[in-house]
Amino acid sequence: MPLQPQALGAALNETLTLHSALCRREVGAFQKAAQSGDDVVVACTQEKRLFAEVGEQTQGVTSVVKFVNIRETGGWSKDAAGATPKIAALLAAAHLPDAEPVATVTYKSAGRLLIVGALDQAEQIAALVADTLDVTIFAQGVSPQAQGGFPSQERKYPVISGERLTLKGWLGAFEASWDKTNAIDLDLCTRCNACVAVCPEGAIDLSYQVDAAKCTSHRDCVAVCKVAGAIDFNRAPQKLTEAFDLVLDLGATPLVALHAPPQGYFALNASAGLASPGLLATVVKLRDMVGEFEKPKFFAYKQKFCAHSRNETVGCNACIDICSAGAVSSQKERQQIVVNPNLCVGCGACTTVCPTGALTYAYPRASEQGVRIKTLLSAYTKAGGAQPVLLFHSQDSGQQAIEALGRAARLQKTVRGVPANVIPQALWHTASVGLDLWLSAIAFGASQVAVLVTREEAPAYLEGLAEQMRVAQTLLNGLGYPGTHFHLVQAGEGADAIAGLDASLQLLARGKPAVPATAARFAVAQEKRSTLDMALDHLMSQAPAALPEAIELPIKGSPFGSLTVNADTCTLCLSCVSACPASALQDNPDRPQLKFIEKNCVQCGLCAVTCPEDAITLQPRLLLTPQRKEARVLNESQPYQCIRCSKPFGTLKAIESMLGKLAGHAMFQGAAADRLKMCGDCRVIDIYSADNELKITDIR
């Protein structure tokens, strides 16, 4: 790796000493640095464990030690000679402080494990964990031809059975519910197998459950079970519920069909018994899941910004639709959504698609991610780099794919590795960063932003990311920046995975879309809309051509837009004003007007859904003129004046519409019809002053 310590030091504003064997004969230099009290960055991740042990054994260590991989991401590449700017960027970002701590979510597990599946297979797996966990088996027959071996005659574990098993909850708080319909009481059964042997239809298997489809009511089993009394076909079904901490699901159809199942739930295809793929890793995880566990609370929610519902009418459902963990649900009667922190896996997809910023990613915060992005790009540029490409990837499968590509470039002539201008950046989850930070990255000097996705991402996440990228790309092209700036890169699987990823990254590296001439200096805010406004303002100020009046945006996923109101059908009832969560729609207290501030509109659709006349249509776009921030009148009408006192009390169109609808009603004829044309005060006066009006005091 052709490291250039002087160039790196100049970009980082420090003096660097090149070490080639820091983890071996030069380990003393590491110890001395760790005792200095200054932060220490080790540009290698291979020997993290060794350095940790050396630090523990060294007296007087007060420094914070961090690690960054510059080998697979930069040095092991056919473009290594030009990787100095990228290495400077990675080192600069490694110096940044860790994310600020946030509230945590706690799980408590006592080790109560429910294994669901064929009895013989469940017993085999139970034997691997029974010394650590308290096992209960929900028997679902036996495996075909008893591939796992016959069930044990010895009753080692509690066994339950039944139909319509359902599961809800999370680690430490699962609730299993089922209908106990089996004619054989497994608590009374002695496993003598007499019922199995005597049944002429073979309706009873070695899990001691009766197959109702085969049973023809000979009841020979009842006769041979008189002593134990375990079989009773007249027993009424029971609805049972039991609590568990962990669940291992071996069933053919998983009880939880979510892409991101809750913590503590494991679904496994155990068709091959103990040789089933993934079984060993699952058993190891289960054995370790006893005790108290914590994770960050990844999201923050501000109801006042939420566009989900108003007056029990639903508008925006973006977060609910995209969540693959079933953690987001609707409480439309309370005009909000609810995120269950125990089910949330921290993917951040809900925050990415939220148009208002009511949901924000909390760990790390958007502001902290903005500092990291700006640091990466500024250090890269200072070191002489050009056309930087930010490559976001997950810290698990995505990181593995990047490192595998680097190793392949070291060993194979046909693989080039991570290009010199492609800067990998690990995220907790690739769906946690979206439109606001992507556009900010372009404003800060990135030429392109790519997101590397693997099999980890749910299909809904890929669709959501693609929608956001379409909006971002439409915005940039509309502002006059030609080329493609945003990419969704798929990491394949199998023998061609590395070659495919290599080809995709090389294609990225050669792209040169237009970017702002001057990098932005604004600080990314925690509020999504504020960040979007600052990024767009900078991109507009640096636009390479004259700006159009507006940019038409894709219908799906657009956080910006206008409204069109059908003046012929709108009665100015103003129900849309009370429904708008962003104060984009406003009334005029002095005259019948519907006013609109386009900058505030998030295209949630609540106004259109609420409108009783279906007079409102959404128009996704970004208006680039100053009128975007000004209130403009969408519709107005003449006021309707009271026929008695001439005070305006409604709109002409609304009163005329009401009169037309009630014209044929028997209760609104003559004087009663005239009262509809009066204000509230005059209506009461007219009722009490009319001589022919029947009053309640006249009734005897």
113 near 453, Cβ under 8 Å? no
Confidence tier at 388 by pLDDT (50, 70, 90): very high
Residue 446: half-sphere exposure toward Cβ, Cα within 13 Å: 33
Read off the tokens for 607. 């106004």
- The residues, any chain, with a CB within 8 Å of residue 319's CB and separated by 6 or more, are 308, 328, 337, 339, 350, 351, 353, 354, 359
Amino acid, single-letter form, for residue 4: Q
The continuous run of DSSP H or E covering 548 comes out as: none
Angle at which helices 279-288 and 119-129 cross, to 10°: 50
Read off the tokens for 148. 């796992």
Cα 330 to the chain's mean position, in Å?
15
What is the per-residue pLDDT for 696?
61
Least Cα distance to 578 among 367, 221, 386, 310 occurs for 310
Concatenating the DSSP letter of every residue in 318-377 gives: HHHHH-SSS-EEEEGGGTEEEE-TTT--S--HHHHH-SSSSEEEBTTBHHHHHHHHHHHH
The gap between the terminal CA atoms of the chain, to the nearest Å, is 105
CA angle 274, 279, 282 (to 5 degrees): 145
Cis bond leading into 277, ω under 30°? no
- Convert the pLDDT of each residue in 435-461 to its tens digit: 999 999 999 999 999 999 998 899 999
Read off the tokens for 696. 């309640």
Query: Coil, strand, or helix at residue 564?
Result: strand
Confidence tier at 493 by pLDDT (50, 70, 90): confident
CA dihedral of 326, 331, 337, 338, whole degrees rounded to 10: -60
Please tell me the distance from the alpha carbon of residue 55 to that of residue 36, in angstroms, as a whole number.
Answer: 12
Q: Is 397 left (phi over 0), alpha (psi -120 to 50) or beta?
A: alpha
Least confident of 146-155, 217-226, 610-619: 146-155
- Convert the pLDDT of each residue in 203-252 to its tens digit: 998 889 998 889 998 899 999 999 899 999 998 999 999 999 999 999 88
CA dihedral of 55, 59, 60, 63, whole degrees rounded to 10: 0
Q: What is the mean pLDDT of residues 69-82?
A: 91
Angle at which helices 528-541 and 435-444 cross, to 10°: 30
Residue 656 has pLDDT above 90, yes or no: no
Please tell me the distance from the alpha carbon of residue 22 to that of residue 36, in angstroms, as a whole number.
Answer: 17
Distances in Å between the Cα of 431 and the Cα atoms of 350, 438, 463, 469 are 8, 12, 11, 12
Three-class SS of 51-68: HHHHHHHCCCCCCCEEEC
- Phi and psi at 33, nearest 5°, equal -65, -40
Q: Bigger pLDDT: 274 or 102?
A: 102
Distances in Å between the Cα of 568 and the Cα atoms of 616, 631, 663 are 11, 22, 21
Please tell me the distance from the alpha carbon of residue 521 to that of residue 386, in angstroms, as a whole number.
Answer: 18
Least Cα distance to 255 among 141, 166, 139, 162 occurs for 166
Query: Coil, strand, or helix at residue 500?
Result: helix
Strand-pairing partners, residue 563, are 618
Confidence tier at 614 by pLDDT (50, 70, 90): very high
What is the per-residue pLDDT for 485?
98
Strand-pairing partners, residue 596, are 585, 632
Please tell me the distance from the alpha carbon of residue 479 to that of residue 663, in angstroms, as a whole number.
Answer: 54
Query: Coil, strand, or helix at residue 137?
Result: strand
Q: Bigger pLDDT: 9 or 590?
A: 9
User: Of 7-21, 69-83, 106-120, 666-680, which has the strongest mean pLDDT?
Assistant: 106-120
65 near 27, Cβ under 8 Å? no
Q: What is the mean pLDDT of residues 497-505?
A: 95
**What is the residue whose two structure tokens read 């930010």?**
390
108 near 172, Cβ under 8 Å? yes
Least Cα distance to 250 among 145, 119, 111 occurs for 119
Please tell me the distance from the alpha carbon of residue 393 to that of residue 699, in angstroms, as a whole number.
Answer: 80
Confidence tier at 151 by pLDDT (50, 70, 90): confident
What is the per-residue pLDDT for 687?
83
Confidence tier at 639 by pLDDT (50, 70, 90): confident
Q: Bigger pLDDT: 25 or 695?
A: 25
What is the per-residue pLDDT for 400?
94
Please tell me the distance from the alpha carbon of residue 184 to that of residue 209, in angstroms, as a whole number.
Answer: 6
Q: What is the mean pLDDT of residues 51-56?
A: 89
Residue 389 gets which letter from DSSP? E
Residue 183 gets which letter from DSSP? S
124 near 148, Cβ under 8 Å? yes
* Mean of per-residue pLDDT scores for the chain: 92
Confidence tier at 363 by pLDDT (50, 70, 90): very high
Distances in Å between the Cα of 234 and the Cα atoms of 181, 204, 222, 333 are 10, 17, 11, 45
- Convert the pLDDT of each residue in 398-436 to its tens digit: 999 999 999 999 999 999 999 999 999 999 999 999 999
What is the per-residue pLDDT for 372?
97
What is the per-residue pLDDT for 640?
84
Residue 146 has pLDDT above 80, yes or no: no
Residue 1 has pLDDT above 60, yes or no: no
What is the per-residue pLDDT for 699?
61
Least confident of 87-96, 144-153, 547-556: 144-153
What is the per-residue pLDDT for 5?
84
What is the per-residue pLDDT for 74?
87
- Percentage of residues in the chain with pLDDT exceeding 90? 71
Q: Sketch out the chain's domains with CATH numbers.
A: 1-67 (no CATH), 70-96+366-533 (3.40.50), 107-295 (no CATH), 297-339+354-361 (no CATH), 552-636 (3.30.70.3270), 641-698 (no CATH)
Please tell me the distance from the alpha carbon of residue 575 to that of residue 287, in angstroms, as a whole number.
Answer: 57
Least Cα distance to 436 among 534, 528, 513 occurs for 528
Distances in Å between the Cα of 657 and the Cα atoms of 153, 652, 666 are 81, 8, 17
586 near 617, Cβ under 8 Å? no
- 583-601 per-residue burial string, b: 16 or more CB within 10 A, e: under 16: ebbbeeeeebbbbbbbbbb
- Convert the pLDDT of each residue in 284-334 to its tens digit: 999 999 999 999 999 999 998 999 998 888 999 999 999 999 999 999 888
Please tell me the distance from the alpha carbon of residue 20 to that of residue 1, in angstroms, as a whole number.
Answer: 10
What is the per-residue pLDDT for 298?
96
What is the per-residue pLDDT for 693?
66
What is the per-residue pLDDT for 80?
92
What is the per-residue pLDDT for 698?
62
Strand-pairing partners, residue 293, are 107
Confidence tier at 145 by pLDDT (50, 70, 90): low
What is the per-residue pLDDT for 334?
85
Confidence tier at 480 by pLDDT (50, 70, 90): very high
Residue 540 has pLDDT above 90, yes or no: yes
pTM value is 0.88
